[in-house]
A and B are shown apart, each in its own frame.
Chain A
Amino acid sequence: MKQLSTKVTSNAHGQDSSYFLGWEEYEKNPYDEIKNPNGIIQMGLAENQLCFDLIETWLAKNPDAAALKKDGQSIFKELALFQDYHGLPEFKKALAEFMEEIRGNRVTFDPSKIVLAAGSTSANETLMFCLAEPGDAFLLPTPYYPGFDRDLKWRTGAEIVPIHCSSSNGFQITESALQQAYQQAQKLDLKVKGVLVTNPSNPLGTMLTRRELNLLVDFITSKNIHLISDEIYSGTVFGFEQFVSVMDVLKDKKLENSEVSKRVHVVYSLSKDLGLPGFRVGAIYSNDEMVVSAATKMSSFGLVSSQTQYLLSALLSDKKFTGTYLNENQKRLKIRQKQLVSGLEAAGVTCLKSNAGLFCWVDMRHLLDTNTFEAELELWKKIVYEVKLNISPGSSCHCTEPGWFRVCFANMSEETLDLAMKRLKEYVESTDSRRVMSKSSHERIKSLRKRTVSNWVFRVSWTDRVPDER
């Protein structure tokens, strides 16, 4: 009889992908401006480090929030005892209003329909437990966040069936791609329970268009299934257009109190917009009473620390702060993204036109030896080991076309980003000149690579030091 569960022995956690392996290499040799200027620059971590100063200033001006005081009186005891899984009322109210503000106050969020969770990682898994049986499937547009393979499937037993999106139309979701995915699931004998999208998209950095959102709502209506919209990056939209939430579309289609609206659920978190992944703040928003009720009980397995709920309720209730923050955050992200895009351009590299997120979806297809995923992996290794940039290969995001990479821009200083772009430019220029080298030198380098490859392949299966970020 097996000692441990199959969840443990089958390595079904999905964490052996290259996405996590590149992170491991970085950990061994991390770049530091002074201490390790030749180290690997981390561009695989979707963190928002651009606006901490705004929060720190607020904390300095409002010391009671962190000091667990209210009107000068200590509320430590109340918070220490507060474990009600309905959450701190003032926090849910502030969070609902913050979410409304991000959506231009065009839609309203009812705090009683919010379920708090320890991060959207917890929120997404909990929704799976509520909506799917083991063996049921959710359709996800590719490319998608690698962590979903663990978050949505591992302990729930749910399956993911990809909705194939391609560069030919900017990776937008089409009707035929949706139908194809649905049929594929049926071929695999999987019952489709819903569609899950990340909007804005990780790794694309683009917002779903109204057309796509309408398409999705129509699709789930006709198939009588759920739609989960993970809007974790909603506050990072910096483009000219406003963020359009699935809630906007429901409102516009006058479906707000309909049967369909009960099958549309939104996931949110403060990890990206506010840059607070360490505080573990996530939420599920659902119009279905039973989902809210069950998810609330399930949140016992991952409640948000009351200490943190209190701090954030104070922060987010300050409308002057939230207004300024969202504005400034947008500005800085836009500038940073421009810096990356022009840096890439200088290296002859383009990316998908983005208007949100903390990363760009970069096109390096022209740098591939062949149009294969093996070639993509080769290129990726070169970039990690030679160029010393940790970026995420598209295959780890289940992209169907080789040669695309996700490159983060909001987790480092301007100077570091400059350096990263310089390194890339040098590499591309040297690669161009290398292409005119003699064949024999080429073979020498190829065999060197082969040796590195086998080392690499050997290491693939045992890693444990992995991050928990998107």
Chain B
Amino acid sequence: MLSSKVINESHGQDSSYFLGWQEYEKNPFHETLNPSGIVQMGLAENQLSFDLIESWLDDHPEVLGLKKNEESVFKHLALFQDYHGLPAFKDAMARFMEKIRGNKVKFNTNKMVLTAGSTSANETLMFCLANPGDAFLIPAPYYPGFDRDLKWRTGVEIVPIHCVSSNGYKITKEALEDAYERAHKLNLNVKGVLITNPSNPLGTSTTRDELDLLLTFTSAKKIHMVSDEIYSGTVFDSPEFTSVLEVAKDKNMDLDEKIHVVYSLSKDLGLPGFRVGLIYSNNEKVVSAATKMSSFGLISSQTQHLLANLLSDERFTTKYLEENRKRLRERRDRLVSGLKKAGIGCLKSNGGLFCWVDLRHLLKSNTFEAEHSLWTKVVCEVGLNISPGSSCHSDEPGWFRVCFANMSDQTLEVAMDRVHGFVEAMVMSGNHGKQKRTMWDSRRRSLINKWVSKLSSVHCESER
């Protein structure tokens, strides 16, 4: 009766990434109302700089009020459904993206396709670049949502490019070739490589060398290069953010028709609810087809109007980008030192809204079962929803993505205190050979039992 897309539940949303989110929903932390609840550290939201946007809105009330020079623009916007997008908005996005890249790259609005979020942009690109059964190579660990966004309705396959902690997860030539060969062994036509730069979940930006290697590889294989640069405005430390377009320019590939960039305002500006994404491509056919496909996910004209005004204010965007980076760095430092105090290290990051945390030393065994059991403890006993590496297709057990930009300073403190408490308890129980009873022990045990029995039957929902 229903399509296989529905019956097979190939939406990829049963992974633990989404399940932890569901547990949080049942028992969310609140400073005063529910101080023993679960702290959400699995949601990559940027809540640090809303005040900057809110004060801009206060200074420009006519923008939300749908007025321009005292004239109402309501009717014009209400009727505006042109899938080429509001010109003023595309211009503003182009300038904003250029600014993020230190003006080292120029964006031409004719090569831009607006979409309702990068979720829509990524899926649309797959529809344009690949046929069902084709494959894209993606460096692992990667954003769990890709299993749905890139594969579900498109029929495209993902073949992971294995990256390991031993070299800081750098993409190597061997790993690329290996992934390519594996795809072929599985009888899959490789259509391209897709990277997220800066990386989710690693929080590191792709180096120039890696970008050079990637472009050399994709060029030689005559396949596409898709660079999801959704976190480009969150790079707060060196090395500076380098876009694939910059390296393409250096290699005289800046007009190459097989390089595509995806962007969104969900992370840099913290506006996931407004659904603002885009595809940028030199390939006319792709731009043309993607533009028609964007009919299935256009950005509300009301929202395009708001953001056209916000982002064309150069003074605002300069100040915002600078302040945003500053606050993100401070918050990251706080998380890193908090974890360090508990004897926990993480991958040295320079961007993103999360850290890639090393909990391998807390595993009972070097297995994903042990990782899962540790994760269950962290959610239920420690009361922190963090994302296990396995949900991000990590090759090595014991790594977790921990978000830091979606909560207050105080909440982060609480989270760190809990981590210390947990680690101390583990250390003590190790030394004395007995289980130390914490005040939550029996309650947590029953929760774990409930948890285990529920694991296989729940349906969950979430975003990045």
A interface residue numbers (CB < 8 A to B): 1, 3-9, 13, 15, 47, 49, 52, 55-56, 59, 63, 66-68, 74, 76-77, 79-86, 118-119, 121-122, 125, 129-134, 150-151, 154-155, 224, 226, 263, 271, 275-280, 288, 290-291, 293-294, 296-298, 300-308, 311, 464, 466-469
- Which of B1, B64, B149 is within 8 Å of A66, CB to CB? B64
**Considering the chains assembled together, what is the distance between the CA atoms of A49 and B76 in angstroms?**
10
**Contact partners of B130 in chain A: CB under 8 A:** 5
**Contact partners of B57 in chain A: CB under 8 A:** 68, 74, 76
**Considering the chains assembled together, what is the distance between the CA atoms of A264 and B242 in angstroms?**
51
Contact flag A67-B61 (CB < 8 Å), given A278-B80, A294-B6, A301-B123:
yes
**Contact partners of A76 in chain B: CB under 8 A:** 50, 53-54, 57
Shortest Cβ distance from residue B259 to the other chain A in the assembled complex, whole angstroms? 12
**Considering the chains assembled together, what is the distance between the CA atoms of A307 and B303 in angstroms?**
7
**Contact partners of B318 in chain A: CB under 8 A:** none
User: Across the two chains, which residue of chain B brings its CB closest to A301?
Assistant: B120
**Contact partners of B127 in chain A: CB under 8 A:** 5, 7, 155
**Contact partners of A59 in chain B: CB under 8 A:** 66, 74
Complex contact A302–B297 (CB within 8 A): yes
User: Across the two chains, which residue of chain A brings its CB closest to B155?
Assistant: A134
Shortest Cβ distance from residue A315 to the other chain B in the assembled complex, whole angstroms? 12
Complex contact B274–A306 (CB within 8 A): yes
Complex contact B286–A130 (CB within 8 A): no
User: Across the two chains, which residue of chain B brings its CB closest to A293?
Assistant: B459
User: Across the two chains, which residue of chain A brings its CB closest to B302?
Assistant: A308
Q: Can you spell out 15 A-B residue pairs with CB atoms less than 8 angstroms apart?
A: A1-B189, A3-B222, A49-B79, A59-B66, A80-B274, A82-B273, A83-B266, A118-B296, A151-B295, A278-B78, A279-B301, A280-B299, A301-B297, A302-B297, A307-B303
Complex contact B131–A297 (CB within 8 A): no
Most buried by B among A55, A56, A303, A464: A303
Complex contact A277–B189 (CB within 8 A): no
Complex contact B272–A83 (CB within 8 A): yes
Complex contact B117–A298 (CB within 8 A): no
Complex contact A297–B3 (CB within 8 A): no
Contact flag A8-B285 (CB < 8 Å), given A80-B50, A278-B80:
yes
**Considering the chains assembled together, what is the distance between the CA atoms of A464 and B189 in angstroms?**
30
- Which of A1, A77, A276, A464 is within 8 Å of B50, CB to CB? A77
**Considering the chains assembled together, what is the distance between the CA atoms of A142 and B5 in angstroms?**
29
B interface residue numbers (CB < 8 A to A): 1-7, 11, 13, 45, 47, 50, 53-54, 57, 61, 64-66, 72, 74-75, 77-83, 116-117, 119-120, 123, 127-132, 134, 148-149, 152-153, 189, 222, 224, 258, 266, 270-275, 283, 285-286, 288-289, 291-293, 295-303, 306, 459, 461, 463
**Contact partners of A79 in chain B: CB under 8 A:** 273
**Considering the chains assembled together, what is the distance between the CA atoms of A76 and B60 in angstroms?**
14
**Contact partners of A8 in chain B: CB under 8 A:** 128, 285-286, 289
Most buried by B among A8, A52, A122: A8
**Considering the chains assembled together, what is the distance between the CA atoms of A121 and B297 in angstroms?**
9
User: Across the two chains, which residue of chain B brings its CB closest to A83?
Assistant: B272
Complex contact B298–A119 (CB within 8 A): yes
Complex contact B6–A296 (CB within 8 A): no
Closest 6 CB pairs of A and B: A306-B273, A278-B301, A302-B297, A305-B300, A82-B273, A278-B80
**Considering the chains assembled together, what is the distance between the CA atoms of A308 and B235 in angstroms?**
30
Contact flag A131-B2 (CB < 8 Å), given A81-B45, A86-B461, A155-B293:
yes
Shortest Cβ distance from residue A293 to the other chain B in the assembled complex, whole angstroms? 7
**Considering the chains assembled together, what is the distance between the CA atoms of A47 and B78 in angstroms?**
10
User: Across the two chains, which residue of chain B brings its CB closest to A45?
Assistant: B79
**Considering the chains assembled together, what is the distance between the CA atoms of A68 and B302 in angstroms?**
12
Contact flag A133-B4 (CB < 8 Å), given A297-B11, A298-B153, A301-B116:
yes
